[in-house]
Amino acid sequence: MKKEDALFSAHAILAALRASIRLLRWGMLALVLIYLGSGITVVGPEDSGLILRFGKLLPAVHPPGLLLALPPPFDEVIRVPSRRVQEVSLDAWSPAPDEPADLPALHPARNPYTLTGDANILRARFSARYQISDPAAYAFGAADRDALRDSILYETACRTLAGMPVDDALTTRREYIGRETMRLAQEAFDRLGLGVRILAFETREINPPAQVLPAFQDVISAKVEARTLVEPANARRASEIPAAESEAYRIRQTAGADARELVAKAQGEAFSFLALLKEYRANPEVIHARLYSEMIETVLPKVRVSAVLPSSKGNVRILLAPQKWDSSQSDEPPAQEPPAMPAPSQNHYDPAVKKGPVDD
């Protein structure tokens, strides 16, 4: 009986051991699966994923989404915010919040400032927006990339301000400061391979020291007033000059057309005169009579005939009197009274004939 009890106990212990081994086996398998699944990670919508395998960077850059990697210590996943627009404030040249406004002078260490090209002092505050263009270069390009980034931005802003006078920096070239600083900073980032792309560089505040601020404000006000006086003059100049040029062009075109018309008319009259002269030389009496007839046809409708007097010598004497001017028929006043018109002959009238107008 004791042997059977011992044998039963041994079988029970063996069954328990087998069950425990099966549980340990499933537990180990679950742990292995959990360990293998620990390499699976999710890359955020604004990030890019990099994988370090045994400390060596893999060349692939993984976009947002599910990233399959080996569990540590085989792989290490690094997330870089490459799609996020980041902003950094540059306040090293601005007054501190606890700085008194009535300082007698500025100390270069306690009260930082920068200089312009004409050796004037400026207090300024800037901001820069940037985006990561190369995640691998950004992650491993420099040990302290944030400090290097800020140093480059301050250095390029200082170079830009050192190339202009203080009046331009305070008034007309504030936008130029941002453009030029952004260009110089981008060149420095590309040269050092930091993988950063500058999107904007803005001047938040730029002023002279408080001790001389009223004087600078007076100068700026004077310049603004000068621009307000000059701009209307420039606007009127821009409108008047084209109008004057258009009028001059119209006058030249009209004069040219008139000149061509007069030349053509003169040439036509000269050609007609030469043709008439040729005919006159061939038949002078006929041409003389025709010209006289044309003259009579032109003059007679404008006058009234007073008398037609014969002559013993064969010549005809026509005495003419001008018609009275009728304002309803013509807008022009009558011409001077025409003289008596002789016949085409060169002979004088008979002295016996009484001269003067005769009533009808």
Spatial contact of 39 and 66, defined as CB atoms under 8 Å apart: no
Residue 150 predicted with pLDDT over 90: yes
In angstroms, the first-to-last Cα distance of the chain is 189
- Bridge partners of 50, per DSSP, are 78
pTM exceeding 0.85: no
What is the residue-averaged pLDDT of the chain? 79
The fraction of the chain above a pLDDT of 70, given in percent, is 79
| Structure confidence by residue, pLDDT tens digits, 297-349 | 887 777 665 555 565 655 555 655 555 545 444 445 544 444 444 444 444 33
The pLDDT of 210-219, averaged and rounded, is 79
Question: Which has the closest alpha carbon to 337: 327, 323, 317?
Answer: 323
Q: How confident is the model at residue 357 (pLDDT cuts 50, 70, 90)?
A: very low
Read off the amino acid at residue 317.
R
Spatial contact of 40 and 68, defined as CB atoms under 8 Å apart: yes
d(Cα 124, Cα 205) in Å, to the nearest integer? 5
Q: Is the model more confident about 202 or about 35?
A: 202
Count the Cβ atoms, other than its own, within 10 Å of residue 93: 21
Q: How confident is the model at residue 153 (pLDDT cuts 50, 70, 90)?
A: very high
- Asked which of 33-47, 62-76, 98-112, 181-195 is least confident by mean pLDDT, the reply is 98-112
Q: How far is CA 14 from CA 7, 17, 22, 24, 40, in A?
A: 10, 5, 12, 15, 40
Strands (E), 219-359: 303-310, 316-322
